[in-house]
């Protein structure tokens, strides 16, 4: 079956490429949501609208579409920072505290319209670091295009004291949970 990843995220592409052949067709949908939704509902909703956007654009109707959206939550959603200054504020807020990383994901089979939307949640505790450490981290430019202003797969590891849950979820693609749904709900085994 043709697999389509509804993302241009280098991290998601890298992770899925280890297990399956697929093509990447990024969603073009604007990421808007109701503020009344809970964080996990937001992540799942955004993954769903991304999958539906790509599904609409694939004319052959023969693909299995996988989409994901990751958010960072500490009192509020810390989205992708719009500037270095905003990234600095996010990292100051996160230091010494536990926050949640939530990835919503959708798997949609175009042939029979079967669809699963679910989420993975991981708790991350940051260490206590000073402002000069934040500046050094921001100099690495890893905060750009990253929810919560950090990339755990890079220098962002130095911010993290403890993780409770799925590391790959923090990277943005909880491959274990996704693989279980693929196997159990869509009869696709990534080990084959």
Residue 43 and residue 167: Cα distance in Å, rounded? 17
Express each pLDDT in 55-83 by its tens digit: 999 988 899 999 999 999 999 999 999 99
Mean pLDDT of 166-189: 97
Other beta carbons less than 10 A from residue 184's beta carbon? 11
Q: Tell me: pLDDT of 35 over 90.
A: no
Which is catalytic among the residues 69, 135, 139, 192?
Answer: 69
Give all domains of the chain, ordered by start, each with its CATH number: 2-186 (3.90.950.10)
Annotation says 130 is catalytic: no
Residue 159 and residue 81: Cα distance in Å, rounded? 17
Confidence of residue 96 (pLDDT cuts 50, 70, 90): very high
What is the DSSP code (8-state) at residue 144? T
Global confidence as pTM: 0.94
Mean pLDDT of 27-46: 95
Q: Which residues pair with 164 in a beta bridge?
A: 123
Q: Tell me: pLDDT of 1 over 90.
A: no
Cβ atoms of 75 and 135 within 8 Å: the answer is no
Contacts of 107 (CB under 8 A, 6+ apart): 51, 64, 65, 66, 115, 116, 178, 181, 182, 185, 186
């Amino acid at each position: 079956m043709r697999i389509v990843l509804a993302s241009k995220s280098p991290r998601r592409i890298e992770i899925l490429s280890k297990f399956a052949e697929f093509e990447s067709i990024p969603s073009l949908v604007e990421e808007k949501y109701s503020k009344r939704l809970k964080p996990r509902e937001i992540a799942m909703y955004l993954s769903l609208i991304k999958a539906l956007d790509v599904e609409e654009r694939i004319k052959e109707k023969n693909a299995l579409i996988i989409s994901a959206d990751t958010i960072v939550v500490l009192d509020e959603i810390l989205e992708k920072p719009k500037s270095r200054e905003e990234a600095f504020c996010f990292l100051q807020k996160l230091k010494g505290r536990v926050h949640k990383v939530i990835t919503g994901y959708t798997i949609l089979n175009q042939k029979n319209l079967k669809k699963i939307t679910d989420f993975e949640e991981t708790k991350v505790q940051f260490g206590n670091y000073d402002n000069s450490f934040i500046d050094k981290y921001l100099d690495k430019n890893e905060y750009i295009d990253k929810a919560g202003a950090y990339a755990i797969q890079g220098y962002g590891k130095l911010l993290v004291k403890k993780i409770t849950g799925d590391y790959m979820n923090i990277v943005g693609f909880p491959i274990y949970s996704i693989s279980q749904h693929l196997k159990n709900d869509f009869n696709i085994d990534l080990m084959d």
